[in-house]
Structure 1
């Protein structure tokens, strides 16, 4: 794949700096899909660099995306930094859990993008966490797939999935999406994605 520059015109210094950093490293970010609100599932998560790329990438394209993080981490100077990075605190004292509180956030905003990493860990997760799916389904927002392809050095958004209510069917579709790119450490892929990725590699080598 040719690494054509598709960055938008920067509106802020931070956006310009992130674009320059990605260009210097040979990376690009595809245009974000035209949706007003969404759950963004990012991956495959096999390295600490994935998070760094995600933060730089979203700033480079001017995407105001947020993370839901436990409120106890917002105390002191770290709280200021987390808010600057787009984090939204989850109140652990409430009976409503993360899914319910995130759905509430979507109800309060005309435009909102929440980023999640469904694999939950960067090393061989046996299965995905599914809270993101229930949030999207209950909030009535699509799921945007965001992938870091280390082979082609590009962050791409290959699919926008409207949750059907059939969790297993939709998860299988998302697993296939994640298996369509090359992560930094393929051996650390989550189990359902690794099986598909290895099958894809085998078919390519035949």
Structure 2
């Protein structure tokens, strides 16, 4: 995995302090702790309904001492911001091409030397969508890693790490259980998020 703002020693310490101060001033509460068995894991990032989700996710990641990488649409990685997005932990995803993203992501997670958490928004877009994409699920299954149910609730200004979820391979049953957990949370644009 490439070097990021989270793995650059002096910078990460400074930005953790800044993130904690910003979240406190903005009235946000960040809770949870990454269990040792989830040092390598796949994170669900939901609800995902706004561009504001990225900065708040980064602030929360610093507060929680995570080592995250996140998937984003390829267009935000174009010049002049591509280098910055990658330094922030971004991995571009080209939705127009058919590629084996699940296998490549699982291999990268397994090969990583240290802790790494791959953040994947199940909606795949900030727009309203009825069906969640299952890429995050199959990455976890293929890499044999747990899923961390991370959340962000804008009305209550809460962000954090929910329980670990171990996929069984029964995707329909597992997705129904995961969506039940997320029913309690609302995104910034809450009308665009569905857990059904």
Structures share fold, TM-score greater than 0.5: yes
Alignment of 1:150 with 2:151, yes or no, is no
Larger radius of gyration: 1
Decide whether the 8 Å contact of 1:65 with 1:113 is kept in 2: yes
Change beyond 3 A, Cα 1:97–1:44:
same
Decide whether the 8 Å contact of 1:69 with 1:87 is kept in 2: yes
Structure 2 Cα separation of the partners of residues 189 and 69 of structure 1 = 18
Q: Show structure 1 runs of 5+ residues with no match.
A: 1-10, 196-206
Structure 1 Cα separation of the partners of residues 172 and 92 of structure 2 = 29
Structure-2-length-normalised TM-score: 0.81
Alignment of 1:124 with 2:128, yes or no, is yes
Q: How does 1:1-206 map to 2 (within 5 A)?
A: 12-34=13-35, 35-68=38-71, 76-88=79-91, 97-110=100-113, 111-190=115-194, 193=195, 195=196
Change beyond 3 A, Cα 1:151–1:78:
closer
Quote the offset at 1:91 in angstroms: 9.2
Task: Please identify, of 113-122 and 27-36, the stretch whose mean Cα deviation from structure 2 is larger.
Answer: 27-36
Runs of 4+, deviation exceeding 3 Å:
68-77, 88-92
Task: Please identify, of 126-135 and 46-55, the stretch whose mean Cα deviation from structure 2 is larger.
Answer: 46-55
